[in-house]
Amino acid sequence: MVAPRLEDVDVHSDTAPEPIPDTAHRKALISALLDDCGVGWQKKLVTRIVDAGIGLGLDGTSRLNLKISAAALEEMRAAFRLFAPFEAAPKVTIFGSARTTAEDPLSQQALRVSRELADQGWLVVTGAGPGIMEAASTGAGPEQSIGVSIRLPFEERPMHEIAGNDRLVSMKYFFTRKLMLVKESRGFVCLPGGYGTMDETFELLTLQQTGKMVPMPIVLLDRPGGTFWRGFERFVIDHLQGDGMISQGDLDRVLITESVEDAVAEITGFWRNYDSLRWAGEQLVLRLRATPTPAEVEGLNEEFVGLLRSGRIEATAPLAVEVADDDLLELPRLVLTPQRRAVGELHRLIRALNELPSAPVGGDAPANN
């Protein structure tokens, strides 16, 4: 089909044109529009976005739902543009209460953990509000901070460390804000907080449990002598796990600690040897920074036999799908066929990979792949 010219479409007519039910014809019109606007990058995906918007109009979608859709897309565009220059930099998101005072030991914990991670090359992402968020941004400093704030009728103006600079984006909706607070980071530190903090913490746990997010280090950091997260742990084990609502070991993926040093070690150490993963059908590919020895691979098979649905853990060359995508071909890798729901065991395997004698000692902060 030849795409129609834009000049053949009367966009200024007072009479609304008839809907175009033919999807192929509609996409040809969109293609011509994108060409006229100079859009060449990922044109198929941009066509899908525009086509979905037209579909909302054809569906007679309510004004409220159209406003939600338009605002969400605009907010995501603004956030994507904010984060784009820092794509390769490792980021850690720090969650916590907006009501914690500067004198509270929790604020000092947030300040220290963010400062130590920033000193090791990590960007610190926060919700750009007061309390724990402000302490974390202060610890990291303005050059190592990114803020994703929320517009509320009664609280949360961006704190002084971020307000006025170009590393802040403001959101109307919590769901777009949470997307950006989670999507961009390679580690998470949660300090005690209220409904919002617990919502964010449960979001992380849910994404990890369901496999909707690749394994990431999650630290639940308390004040010295604090009982907030240990109480949370008891609730999860006694009620959620005890009543069969989650699997045994589902909380094993997180570190509960009151030590800033242990929190930093958990975030950075998670990437000591483990680099990334990829699914290829039923096979899981784990990309590493160092090649394990045959004896180390044999030891992993003995320790993690319960993780496997079939076969063994094997060192291998890049799979065909990885070669086709030119996907990190230079890295050594292990391939296994795991039980799909054994997420806690997968985290234990990653920690075991990071503790292998062949694993690099220290190393640079990980780049976002």
Per-domain boundaries in the chain: 6-61, 84-269, 274-354
Would you write out the chain's pLDDT as a tens digit for each of its 369 residues? 444 443 444 434 455 555 555 778 888 899 999 999 999 999 999 999 999 999 999 999 999 999 999 999 999 999 999 999 999 999 999 999 999 999 999 999 999 999 999 999 999 999 999 999 999 999 999 999 999 999 887 655 555 555 556 789 999 999 999 999 999 999 999 999 999 999 999 999 999 888 889 899 999 999 999 999 999 999 999 999 999 999 888 888 899 999 999 999 999 999 999 999 999 999 999 999 999 999 999 999 999 999 999 999 999 999 999 999 999 999 999 999 998 777 678 889 999 999 999 999 875 556 665
- Both structure tokens of 343: 């997420």
State the pLDDT at residue 48: 92
State the pLDDT at residue 120: 96
State the pLDDT at residue 219: 98
State the pLDDT at residue 6: 39
Quick check: 267 and 92 in contact, CB under 8 A?
yes
| 203, 232, 312, 314 from 184: Cα distances, Å | 15, 26, 33, 31
- Both structure tokens of 49: 């976005």
For residues 235 and 247, give the distance between their C-alpha atoms in angstroms, rounded to a whole number. 14
**pTM, 2 dp:** 0.87
Quick check: 146 and 170 in contact, CB under 8 A?
no
For residues 305 and 313, give the distance between their C-alpha atoms in angstroms, rounded to a whole number. 9
The sign of the CA dihedral 118, 121, 122, 124 is positive
- Of the chain, the end-to-end C-alpha distance in Å amounts to 38
The dotted CATH code for 84-269 is: 3.40.50.450
Identify each DSSP E strand in the chain by its residue range: 91-95, 123-126, 145-150, 168-171, 188-190, 218-221, 254-257, 274-280, 283-288, 308-316, 333-338
The sign of the CA dihedral 108, 125, 366, 214 is positive
State the pLDDT at residue 247: 86
State the pLDDT at residue 185: 96
Task: Provide the residue type at 109 as one letter.
Answer: Q
